[in-house]
Amino acid sequence: MPDRASVNRLSAAQRRAVTEAIRELDAFFTAAARAGWDPTRIRAALLEVFPALCQQYGDVVATAAAEWYEQTRAAEIGGTYEAVLAEPVPLARLEGSVRAAAHYVYTGELDLARTMLLGSLQRYVMDQGRGTITRNAARDKACHKWARVPSGPSTCAWCAMLASRGWVYASAESAGGDGNRYHDHCDCQIVPSWKAKDPSIAGYDPDGLKAKYDEARRIVVSSGQSPTAENIAAAMRKRYPGEFTDSPKTPAGKAGAATARRSASLDNTLQREAWDKHRAWVADRLAASGMAQSASRRLPPEALPSAPQSWPDDLPALTAKAWAHTLYGDRRGGGHGTGYGWIHGSSEFPSSWTPNDILRAAEQVLRSQAWPTSPAGIVEDTVNGIRVRVALRTNKRGVTRVASIIPVHNNAAGA
């Protein structure tokens, strides 16, 4: 059966390729800075260099994953199997990442552009290995299931939440949208099993992770929030400070608890003080109405919303502030998540739609047509019978971001 040593060998081979790819991209930025290239030349060169590195080292990682799959399968059940490689990351997506980072090239923030692309490079290269394993696990009739297994000494709450599901994936499709998504610097590996009994991998404790997930879910539900993946991951970070890579690094006691309530979202677009004021304002409105909190009249969650980690970086950025506006509303409007439309009389997404469904719908809309470049533009399309509008804002520097995601049926408050 797959074991920790086997998984570590695969991880080491992939890390070597990623390290070399990062070294080459880093060398490009250093050379461009020393030569004093203008932003237009840097952007044009990156549109050639970045996709080439992703494809070159993605092939290396995919080949290593295919060889590992064949060898591990043979060791477990015998026989032969010829693994196939994952499809390359679409060129348009790679170029989209360059264009997003190029904004910072033009504003003179070359180090920030470098940081963005180094993270994207790591993810795209690693995705070729993970995609190769999931593709073969789905087509190999002898493979029963697979799990998402963290391979580093620690992992983030988001990945821990997904890894807590254990050996439940029978195919790439059964993992769903979240199970097939990875963030920059993610260390998760996809590990298949060719036997009915769940494998035991030293260091991977899905039962322990599941217990933390269940506790976080209980906290979310008891606080009146919707048990979405984002809310549960946020509760895991708060409940277990210092345990996950994205948990608050705080001491125990009252001081630690106070520090754990972050003063701003990770992308610094949503401030704790403003969020608390908004929650208090909504609570006052609810009290003035004489109505009790219910499934149709919810209060925004106490946990500070974060920008969705699964949002593609080749699309207009979706910040924590815009995501909070979409789901829970703010003083300007919004609140299109189920139970929050009452705040401003806004339209709500169907109660069967999770926040992840809203994200995927917005992604589908944005990929369906060209984006307007006007200061305030909209893109609309119908997804699963619902007309979905994505409101966009383009600033004076030409950077376009998502302002809100709106169901337009019976829309009373707009964006």
Query: Domain span at residue 82?
Result: 4-142
| Last residue within a domain, chosen from 92, 125, 142 | 142
pLDDT grade for 251, boundaries at 50, 70 and 90: very low
Structure tokens at 294: 């219910």
Q: How far apart are CA 410 and CA 389, in angstroms?
A: 13
End-to-end CA distance of the chain: 52
Phi-psi region of 378 (alpha: psi -120 to 50; beta: other; left: phi over 0): beta
Give the pLDDT of residue 180. 65
414 in any annotated domain:
no
161 in any annotated domain:
no
pLDDT grade for 174, boundaries at 50, 70 and 90: low
Q: How far apart are CA 58 and CA 41, in angstroms?
A: 25
DSSP annotation string for 81-123: ----PPPPPPHHHHHHHHHHHHHHHHTT-HHHHHHHHHHHHHH
Structure tokens at 160: 């821990």
344 in any annotated domain:
yes
77 in any annotated domain:
yes
134 in any annotated domain:
yes
| Last residue within a domain, chosen from 142, 162, 180 | 142
Rg from Cα positions in the chain: 23
80 in any annotated domain:
yes
User: Token match 């994200």: residue?
Assistant: 359
Q: What is the rounded average pLDDT for all residues in the chain?
A: 85
Query: Average pLDDT of 45-59?
Result: 96
* Residue 411 scores a pLDDT above 60: no
Q: How far apart are CA 170 and CA 49, in angstroms?
A: 37
* Residue 296 scores a pLDDT above 90: no
pLDDT grade for 289, boundaries at 50, 70 and 90: confident
* Residue 252 scores a pLDDT above 80: no
DSSP annotation string for 170-223: SSTGGGHHHHT---TT--EEEEEE-SSSPP--TT--HHHHHHHHHHHHHHHHHT
Give the pLDDT of residue 1. 58
| Last residue within a domain, chosen from 89, 107, 142 | 142
Q: For the chain, how many structural domains are there in total?
A: 2
Q: Which residues contact 218 (CB under 8 A, 6 or more apart)?
A: none
Over the stretch 86-109, which tens digit does the pLDDT of each residue have?
Answer: 999 999 989 999 998 898 898 888
User: Token match 């679409």: residue?
Assistant: 90
Q: Which one, of 158, 167, 170, lies nearest residue 134 by Cα?
A: 170
Higher model confidence: residue 253 or residue 388? 388
- 377: burial class by Cβ within 10 Å (0-12, 13-18, 19+)? middle
Return the number of other C-beta atoms located less than 10 Å from residue 52's C-beta. 12
SS3 322: helix
Question: For residue 271, what are the β-bridge partners?
Answer: 264
Higher model confidence: residue 405 or residue 241? 405
Give the pLDDT of residue 412. 42
136 in any annotated domain:
yes
Q: Are 161 and 229 in contact (CB under 8 A)?
A: yes
Cα-Cα-Cα-Cα dihedral sign, residues 55, 61, 62, 67:
positive
Q: How far apart are CA 360 and CA 193, in angstroms?
A: 29
Question: For residue 145, what are the β-bridge partners?
Answer: 193
Q: Which one, of 404, 389, 281, 286, lies nearest residue 331 by Cα?
A: 281
Over the stretch 193-217, which tens digit does the pLDDT of each residue have?
Answer: 888 888 788 778 888 899 999 999 9
Q: Which one, of 411, 408, 397, 401, lies nearest residue 377 by Cα?
A: 401
Over the stretch 341-352, which tens digit does the pLDDT of each residue have?
Answer: 999 999 999 988
Is 0.75 surpassed by the pTM of this model? no
313 in any annotated domain:
yes
